[in-house]
Amino acid sequence: MKQITKIVMTGGPAGGKTTLTTRLVKELTALGYRVLIVPEAATELISGFGIKPFGNCVSMYEFQYFVTDSQLQKERLAARAAELVPEEKVLIICDRGLLDNKAYVSQKEYDVILKYFGLTEQQVLDSYDAVIHLVSSAYGAEYAYSYNNTARYETLEGAREKEELALMCWQKHPHRVVIGNSVNFDNKIRKAMNEIYKILGEIPPTQSERKYLIRFADGKLLESYHPVEQIITQSYLVGKNDGMERRARKVQSNGSTAYYAIEKQQISAVERIERERMLTQKEYVRVLDEVDPAFGSVTKRRYCFKYADQYMTVDTYAGSSSLAILDVQLSDKAQTVQIPPEIDVVREVTEEIAYQGHMIAKTHGQLEE
């Protein structure tokens, strides 16, 4: 029986929705989920169609009819696609939901808009299983605030105003979770992911991981654990002047291909920002022109599975008969590692720099037991 969950990602500008969505796609795909994304309707209308509530185009009130119509159609398509895809577990992520539109008109105007589409506010609330509100970095994490959405630029003051409006829109949803800013941006994203994993009935993401060099023949050893198989190409890109580390990743799984861009930047001795976003195939091909020749790219076959309530991956590398790495993700640093009996461990390599991703890309083919 299909397990379909529909979640809204909302909040003020620059809250981390793109990074959170990208990481969810990456992690949940490895767990056998299909993640469907409903893009933000307002941005598409402004950027793609030139329909906008400024520049003498339409009024804000008229614009909300376009937004609501577009969003309803896309959410219906996502619901239909969720039934059609082969995966039994499906997560629909809505980049903002129908109630976000309420922030831009009066309550009376919004009620009229909903009535036009044959809806009530309660019906809209009931259509989403949960709401994840990521507080804008304009509140308490101003150093991370960026102006990446060219369709809708907001100053810090404007972003804070949108934050308050978004909070009001969803206050009646029974399963709303508000994720505030903390000292560490990655902690904020992980906290949000923990909440979503709980909603899905899954084990929360890793708090710690251990790596092991193993002897591994092929994926048949793991068949009883029903692994999800992926082909991953990781490319290390030339860094920027501000010290930003950059990577591009191609992931092939179950007949589909996804592309990602990852950027890591050290802000201070204790704070690092890691942003991720999905790329189109054309964007991915273009970014490969920036591959750092010192590290290049590496391709690995990954087997993702669960054993003894622990998430595990086994990576094998193209052209290498001896290099295979087991990664065990733990929910607690004190948790005892349990390794499947089918896997023969050579030694733990958690702290060995030679077995970190960028070094494997650099020395691939030279690492031995």
Residue range 101-144, pLDDT digits in tens = 998 899 999 999 999 999 999 999 999 999 999 987 655 444 44
| pLDDT, tens only, 61-103 | 999 999 999 999 999 999 999 999 999 999 999 999 999 999 8
- Reference 69, options 39, 98, 112, 108; nearest CA is 98
Q: What's the CA gap between 91 and 74, in Å, rounded?
A: 15
Every domain of the chain with CATH number 3.40.50.300 lies at 3-200
**CB under 8 A, 24+ apart: contacts of 362-366:** 362/294, 362/295, 362/296, 364/298, 364/317, 364/319, 364/320, 364/323, 365/319, 365/320
Structural fold of domain 3-200: Rossmann fold (3.40.50)
Range with top average pLDDT, 105-114, 233-242, 261-270:
105-114
Exposure pattern of 272-305 as b/e (b: 16+ CB <10 Å)? ebebbebbeeeebeebeeebbeebebbbbbbbbb
Distances, alpha carbon 190 to alpha carbons 23, 247, 261, 319, 343, in Å: 10, 20, 18, 35, 29
- DSSP structural state of residue 96: S
Q: What's the CA gap between 48 and 181, in Å, rounded?
A: 32
Distances, alpha carbon 260 to alpha carbons 48, 239, 278, in Å: 22, 16, 4
pLDDT grade for 355, boundaries at 50, 70 and 90? confident
pLDDT at residue number 34: 95
Alpha-helix runs per DSSP H in 150-237:
156-169, 185-200
Contacts of 158 (CB under 8 A, 6+ apart): 13
- Reference 331, options 358, 306, 301; nearest CA is 306
| pLDDT, tens only, 201-228 | 988 766 678 999 998 877 888 999 999 9
pLDDT at residue number 65: 96
Question: Is a pLDDT exceeding 70 seen at residue 159?
Answer: no
Percent of the chain at pLDDT above 90? 53
Q: What is the mean predicted confidence (pLDDT) over 167-192?
A: 85
- DSSP structural state of residue 204: P
The per-residue pLDDT of the chain, averaged, comes to 85
Radius of gyration of the chain (CA): 22
Let me know: does 175 contact 129? Beta carbons within 8 Å: yes
Q: What is the mean predicted confidence (pLDDT) over 189-195?
A: 89
Every domain of the chain with CATH number 2.40.320.10 lies at 208-363
Distances, alpha carbon 291 to alpha carbons 134, 246, 284, in Å: 33, 9, 11
Copy the structure tokens of residue 53: 């509530």
pLDDT at residue number 266: 66
pLDDT grade for 166, boundaries at 50, 70 and 90? confident
pLDDT grade for 368, boundaries at 50, 70 and 90? very low
Q: What CATH number does the domain located at 208-363 have?
A: 2.40.320.10
